[in-house]
Structure 1
Amino acid sequence: MLNIYFTNYYNNNGTSLLKRCVLLCVLFIGFSAFSQTTPKVITKVDTTSIKIGEQIQFTVTVEADTTAQVIFPEGQTFSPLETVEAFATDTTRKNDRMTLQKIYALTQFDSGSYKIPAQRIEINGEGFLTDSTRIVNVANIAVDTLAQRMYDIKPLMEVEKNNSRLWKIILFVLLGLLVIGGLVYWFFFRKKQLSEEEKVALLPPYDRALLELKNLEKSKYLIQDEYKEYYSELTGIVRSYLEEDVNVSALESTTDELITKLELLRDAGELKIDDETLQQFKRILQTADLVKFAKSKPDTSVAENDRQSIEQIVHKTHDALPEPTVEELMEQEEYKEELEKKQQKKKIIYASVAVLGALFIALGVSTTYYGFTYVKDTILGHPSKELLEGDWVSSSYGYPPISLETPRVLKRQETKLTPEMKANIKDLQMFMYRSEKGFFSVGTTSTTLTQEVEPEFNKSIEAFIKNLEKQGAKNIITKQEEFTTVTGVKGIKVFGSGDFPVPGSEELVDGKYSILLFGAKGLQQQIIINWLEDDTYAQEIADRILGSVEVKTEL
């Protein structure tokens, strides 16, 4: 029943339903087309005539959908006019449309007529260019030469070279020397804190023997029944004393041999000691031999008495020694002084060897990492290396401007146009830097022609080669290729090598050169770089300069 109803309805009203569907589609398509209206870009300036240094306001208005993504140009994009300030974007919305307004404050400090270049507005990834036919007239400020005196243009002011890098190098060298000096002092000249054993070892033999006997008295050998260790230390103390103070070989002698040597010294008058003391000493040594080799164990009181007896023997032996003569004392002082000199000399040698070793290690590591040539040039200095690693300058030269990065500021070169040149050249601006110590030089030339004709690059290249040959250059090799800047401006690159004369000399050196040529109607721009062929640092400088070139080819 339900199926029959829908079938009848469709048959009776089919035509009306179809019309309704078509009408809805048309409305939908119309609405979509209206919502995707093409964006509009409108520009205007508040004035087209200003004085030098005054500002104009360049307004860009964009009308687009509220969903559109709009990107305005930033930076110095109005050359030859200079952008003073880019104000914040003002946005207004109405229904599904929005209006964006961007204001730029522009100025110029040279009189003349200037065309505002077209600006690219990016909307949803598509570029829209503004009108570039607006001309801005910049007028000179009237000067009353009668009431105001005219003065010559002041010459360039020489600025002292920045020595910050030199001071950094000196600071690092001083810090390195300070560290090395501290290490040498710490390991060779510092008075070290002596341990108790070292302090005891520095005592005179007599005082050291008495101190060691006192320490033996405080020991626990007898309490722990360690008689062998007790007597070994007791006889070792007295034998060491006799060997040092009496000058008799006691440590390696047996008991009988030692007593015999002491008796011989007594008989020779070199040791004033009585026979009873010698016999008492012999008895103690024999008791010590029995304890060490026959495992004998005397009473504790006997061991204590033997230590006291040895102490008395040390006293008597010391008193029995004859007083040293003046000659002997002087010999001892000279010996001490000589010994101190030798020790001081040894310390100086050790310190010198340590410093030289540290320097050689540093040189070896630096040579392995950086290479011999780089280390040599760092230590001895190299003019091109100093330029490469110094503070570089980014600047614009001439008009239209040639922007590039150089190790030093290029200075304006005074040029006088001959009558023949004035027929074709309206203005010529040259800037150059030449290294005083090396062959490296870089220069720019901006030439404004009297007629708006395309520049003849081939003639410029021929004139350049002829000028080199006129100056004495030989064996000039020339290559040519297309060159494109970072921003896409295309030009010609001429490069090669040859034997070039050194300024102020008849000597010829192997050198390289590179020339960039750009231009448009009525305009030609050149960038020229020269350097020694085997100067790797100058090659890096040239590559860096060429990679930074930016030019404007519109008057």
Structure 2
Amino acid sequence: MKKQLYLFFLLLSTAVFAQQKQVVTSIDTIKNKIGAEFKLSIKTTVDTSSKVIFPKLKNFGALEVIQSYPIDTIKTDGRYELVKKYGLTQFDSGRYVIPSIKIFINSKPFMTDSLLVEVANVKVDTLKQKMFDIKGIAQADNSIGDWWKYLLIIGLIVGIAVLIYWYIKKHQEKKLQEEIHKTPIEKATSLLDTLDKKELWQKGEVKAYYSELTDIARNYIEEAIEIPAMESTTSELIQGLRAASVKKKMTLSQEIIENLERVLKQADLVKFAKSKPLDFEITEDRNKIQKAILTLDNSIPVEVPAEEDVLLNEAQRQKQIQIQLLKKRKKRIVTAVVSVVVLLVATLTFLIVLKGFDSVKDNILGNPTKELLEGEWVKSDYGNPGVIIETPKVLKRVDLTKTLPKDGMALIKEMESFVYGSVSDHFYLMVSTLKYKKETEIDLKKSMDGALQSLEAQGAQNMIVKQEDFETKEGIKGIKAYGTFQKIDGDKQSSVKMYYEALLFSQEGGLQQILLFHEEGDTYGNNISERVLSSVELKRASK
């Protein structure tokens, strides 16, 4: 009867598929001390022409391979019996699963059996072992502390503020420089006033002053009289100006042209010969340029535009105004977007430094287990013998009897199972109860081993198992298993490490089981597990 019950728990959560035992797995002992060697043996019998490949591994699950022994070969009746041994060890106490591995025979894979082993602590005789006093608390070095984080935040905010100020100032200056004037004379007059306000020659920057002064005159001549003044030499400019005055019928005096030529040549001497005019000469040159520009503007014949041209120019002017308004609007939008993005990045950086990346990510992007923890919990009664438990969501009834073999179901009178999620999710919770047709004594440790091996059959790998006694608030005693295992994430095609806890209680004629697991290191998952398990209440089995 006990053997049948143990077999049933192996198949509690999944069906077992038989396989021809061409590969036999054995171990010299299933219980050993920390650091001691387990000798795992893998044996297969093949034809003399068969090719067998045993794996070269550094670890079997959580156990380390400390020795890979040579293959023993025994020939009997024209066949080879090959035995490969591995020396395994573990330096932490607990119950560990040696997982199934692939053995290739003629390129065809065969799986070994998984085994459960136990690593025990080494007892220390405190009567013979010399004891030492506990060392005093060492003072931590707090010379650095967390001040650098706040300094980094302040520096970051100041840097962002300076960047925004520089960006706005640069665009404002550019806007002033690109100010549109209605006529060339208005532009030249405005630039001369701006040049006076700079006071360049008063500060000793005579060369820069003459360069801007002559550029204003040349630019005006190029725009108003339409000759290439900016790239012409002084002689070419004066010659082109004389020709343009005749062509455009401009009334220019010889004095104006000579004064303009004199100032341009003076500027050439300042820029290229390092000449230094006196203060009054600089003032006179500035006045000569202004007088020359005004005289040139007055001498240009005024053409009365036709009515159609006036309307066309007005339409073009209105179109230009609309284009400028759109450009300004785009600039304002870009400035606003950049400012918002910069402030958002600064705020996120501040929160990450202050509270940590995971906390900020969970609060902004969301976290499924966080939502479960902070949601409305439900306390309910499940199964028979009843399990009263508080959970983040109501558990749904599932039928596991269809996955069990007929010989296992023959022992059961009643079975009920309730779950949240699935074994492929990152959080899973199951409550299962059953009643037997006949009362029998149940070995909880063997039953727990069977339940955990069934979890391994569903995809759990490298399982680490630790067990301890468990007692509810009402004093009902049971057994608790906990540890970690690796689970393949099908969506990301990667391995995820999970933390699990399982409770098992036996009553007269019945069993009650609770299993939950979540990602290792998930703080919210840990809090859910603690709250769920601390709320467990059990009912006695009814006849």
User: TM-score when scaled to structure 2?
Assistant: 0.40
Per chain length, whose mean CA-contact separation is higher, i.e. which structure has more relative contact order (CA < 8 Å, sep 6+)?
A: 2
TM-score normalised by structure 1 residue count:
0.40
